[in-house]
Structure 1
Amino acid sequence: MEFLRITNIVDPLFKQMHQLMQDVFPKEEVLDFELWKEPLEDPGIRVFVAVLNGKVVGATEYRYYEDFNVAMTDFTIIGVAGLGVGPFLAENRLADLQELAAANNKDLYGMFAEIYNPYQVEHYEFGGIKPMDPYVRREVLAHLGYKRIDFKYVHPSWDNDGTAVTGLDLCFLPMEKGTNELPTDLVVKFLTRYYTVLPYKPDSWYSMVQDLEAKSRIALMPL
């Protein structure tokens, strides 16, 4: 299996990856094909696919913020069960991020991720791919060390229509064991930066950020 980076929409592997995203994720979570041109060409956004015999069997997108010394996993897709795609993507992603942090003369502080909460919304099917089942994914990510940031999370729809998307938790994987809280300022700055690309945000998102700004620390809870 190969871990290959995609940097433009004309890469034939991207067509496979985009189709895989459409097969797996809800419509409002997937950017249109043409809108991927700028993200893929952005050096700060890292999109990699797991390729086996010329076929995309998994994918992940993530980014590293030098000034925050944290990463964000945008998504992880396991396209085929029984190949070890999940561990392959996670291990290669972490190794890449640790190299980026080292080049920044730091040890990686941790990684954000939005994780589906099937206890809130149960209709996600994720293309019928069992490793992508939200109950399975949640337990796997818990075993990896991810923790739920203790607040009610909403995010703007990637349709950029101002709709609030619920049914997910914002989580964090601390690199240092025993970390049970975060500076709320870090969460606010991260969310503000991350969603700059979407100008149309729901009122509930702004209310959420204001509530966070009123606190200094926020707890990390078990998934």
Structure 2
Amino acid sequence: MEFKRITNIEDPNFKKLHDLMGQIFPPEEVLEYELWKEPLEDPSIRVFVAVYEEEVVGATEYRYYPDWNIAMTDFTIISKPGLSLGRFLAENRLKDLKQLAAQNGKELFGMFAEIYDPYRVEHHEFGGVKVMDPYVRREVLSHLGYKRLDLAYVHPSWENNGEAVSGLDLCFMPIKEEIAEIPASLVRDFLTTYYSVLSNKPQKWLDMVEKLAAKETVALLPL
């Protein structure tokens, strides 16, 4: 198994990856093919695929924010069982992020992720891939150390149509397990920066961000 970074839309592995995303994720979660050009060339956005026998069988996209010393996991794809793909991707991602934090003179503070809540929304089947089942994913991410932010969360649709996407939790994995809350300003600033690429923000998202501005901290709850 190889852990290969993609930095160009012309990379043959990117076509395989984008096809895989279309099979796994609902349309509102997948950025159009051509719109990937700039993100892939952005050094702060790290897109890696797991290549097994010349086939893209898994992937993860994430980014590191040196000013806040945090990361965001954009997505993880596991397309086949029996290859220990989850462990392979998680370990290689964390190793890379710890190196980036060390280059920044720090120890990584933690990592955000959006996680589907299948107890509220049951229609996400992820292309029928059982290892991507939302119930399984939620428990795996809990095992990794992710905690749910005490926040009624929505995010803008990646189709940039002004719709608010619900049915997810914003979670955070603190590197130090004893951390029970994080600054609300960090959450607000992160979300504002992360979704700056989308021009058409839904009012529910704007209201959520405004509420964060009035808080000091956000509690981290069990997932």
TM-score (normalizing by structure 2): 0.99
- Give me the whole-angstrom Cα distance separating, in 2, the residues matched to 1:32 and 1:197: 13
1:99 aligns to what? 99
2:126 aligns to what? 126
2:54 aligns to what? 54
Shift of 1:177: 1.5
For residue 100 of structure 2, give the secondary structure of its aligned residue in structure 1. helix
1:184 aligns to what? 184
Shift of 1:34: 0.7
Q: How does 1:60-139 map to 2 (within 5 A)?
A: 60-139=60-139
1:2 aligns to what? 2
1:148 aligns to what? 148
- Structure 1 letter corresponding to 2:57: V
Q: Which runs of 5+ in 1 are unaligned?
A: none
- Give me the whole-angstrom Cα distance separating, in 1, the residues matched to 2:214 and 2:132: 36
For residue 57 of structure 1, give the secondary structure of its aligned residue in structure 2. strand
RMSD of aligned C-alpha atoms?
Answer: 0.5
- Structure 1 letter corresponding to 2:54: G
1:14 aligns to what? 14
For residue 127 of structure 1, give the secondary structure of its aligned residue in structure 2. helix
* Segments of 4+ moved more than 6 angstroms: none
- Structure 2 letter corresponding to 1:154: V
For residue 196 of structure 1, give the secondary structure of its aligned residue in structure 2. coil
For residue 97 of structure 1, give the secondary structure of its aligned residue in structure 2. helix
For residue 31 of structure 1, give the secondary structure of its aligned residue in structure 2. coil
- Give me the whole-angstrom Cα distance separating, in 1, the residues matched to 2:19 and 2:150: 34
Q: Which runs of 5+ in 2 are unaligned?
A: none
- Give me the whole-angstrom Cα distance separating, in 2, the residues matched to 1:42 and 1:218: 30
1:160-206: CA deviations, max 9, x gaps? Answer: 11110001000000001211111101000100110000011000001
Shift of 1:112: 0.2
1:217 aligns to what? 217
- Give me the whole-angstrom Cα distance separating, in 2, the residues matched to 1:217 and 1:8: 39
Aligned length in residues: 223
For residue 192 of structure 2, give the secondary structure of its aligned residue in structure 1. helix
- Give me the whole-angstrom Cα distance separating, in 1, the residues matched to 2:173 and 2:73: 10
For residue 197 of structure 1, give the secondary structure of its aligned residue in structure 2. coil
1:69-103: CA deviations, max 9, x gaps? Answer: 00000000001111111100000000000000000
- Structure 2 letter corresponding to 1:191: L
- Structure 1 letter corresponding to 2:116: Y
- Identity percentage over the alignment? 67
For residue 198 of structure 1, give the secondary structure of its aligned residue in structure 2. coil
TM-score (normalizing by structure 1): 0.99
- Give me the whole-angstrom Cα distance separating, in 2, the residues matched to 1:44 and 1:91: 19
- Give me the whole-angstrom Cα distance separating, in 2, the residues matched to 1:174 and 1:58: 24
